[in-house]
Amino acid sequence: MSRQTDTFEFISGIRDSRQVLHQNYLYNKHSGIQYRCQKCPSVLSVNETMMYVTKAPTAHIGHEPLADCRVAVMKAIKRMKERAFTDTTVSIKEIYEHALKSLTDAKFKIADINAPLIGGLLPFSRFRGTLASIRQSVVPPLPETLDDIDFEQETYQKYSLTNEGELFLRYDNKNRTKRILIFMSQCAIDWLILI
């Protein structure tokens, strides 16, 4: 197998430490481009930019690769964290439920997914805090007054557009005492024209 086709995947570990998953073995960041197996001295070298293995790991001693269901749970957790950061249109509970459904759709039994060995994906309360923190890092704080909202600031610009990126904020008089904001999608305008 050529090095450039031998790939790996980044997985966030506890407290978001950087870990690498390669052929169902989990490696922790060791130094520079090297990652050390969690359970033995095996070391893997990678090109983090191009996402391929530069030096294959030495033989693993005394343990088997992770079970497919455990790897699936780790990848589901990674996807939940990524989605909480990138998709602010969906609640964190829905993100969790989608991840759980993807695991059950993959024919993993809930008992296997939730086994102590795997660390389990259940219950939601285990992920609520982490997902909420990730979400809060990309969603601006709720304003206390209309004066706190400045749609020209990058933080609030996304609220002047629809989820599809179309103009949504149609009017802002920016008056400090009697502010008027008008929000309307193009679809709603087209519908009003037809009435």
Report residue 109's pLDDT band, with 50, 70 and 90 as the boundaries. Answer: low
- Do both 79 and 132 map to the same domain? yes
The answer to whether residue 63 is domain-embedded is: no
pTM > 0.75: yes or no? no
Q: Domain range holding 33?
A: 3-55
Last residue of a domain, one of 136, 156, 174: 136
The answer to whether residue 88 is domain-embedded is: yes
The answer to whether residue 175 is domain-embedded is: yes
- Do both 88 and 31 map to the same domain? no
The answer to whether residue 42 is domain-embedded is: yes
Burial 149-184 (b: 16+ CB within 10 A, else e): beeeeeeeebebeeeeeeebbeebeeeeeeeeeeee
Average pLDDT over residues 23-49: 89
CA–CA dist 151, 172 (Å, integer): 9
Q: Chain-centre distance of CA 179, in angstroms?
A: 37
The answer to whether residue 171 is domain-embedded is: yes
Average pLDDT over residues 91-120: 69
Please tell me whether residue 107 adopts helix, strand or coil conformation: coil
Report pLDDT for 170: 93
pLDDT of residue 119 exceeding 50, the answer is: no
Please tell me whether residue 19 adopts helix, strand or coil conformation: strand
Report residue 88's pLDDT band, with 50, 70 and 90 as the boundaries. Answer: confident
CA–CA dist 78, 72 (Å, integer): 10
- Do both 77 and 98 map to the same domain? yes
CA–CA dist 51, 131 (Å, integer): 26
CA–CA dist 167, 153 (Å, integer): 16
The answer to whether residue 34 is domain-embedded is: yes
Average pLDDT over residues 156-172: 85
- Do both 76 and 51 map to the same domain? no
pLDDT of residue 31 exceeding 90, the answer is: no
More confident residue, 6 or 128: 128
Average pLDDT over residues 150-170: 82
- Do both 87 and 131 map to the same domain? yes
pLDDT of residue 16 exceeding 70, the answer is: no
Q: Where are the beta strands (DSSP E) in the chain?
A: 9-12, 18-22, 25-31, 34-37, 43-47, 52-55, 169-172, 181-183
**Nearest CA to 23 among 34, 12, 35, 8?**
8
How many domains does one find in the chain?
A: 3
- Do both 122 and 170 map to the same domain? no
The answer to whether residue 176 is domain-embedded is: yes
Element (H, E) at 92: helix 92-105
- Do both 79 and 130 map to the same domain? yes
**Nearest CA to 50 among 81, 1, 2, 8?**
8
Average pLDDT over residues 130-146: 83
Q: What residues contact residue 88 under an 8 Å CB cut-off, 6+ apart?
A: 135, 138, 139
Least confident of 58-62, 105-109, 112-116, 156-160: 112-116
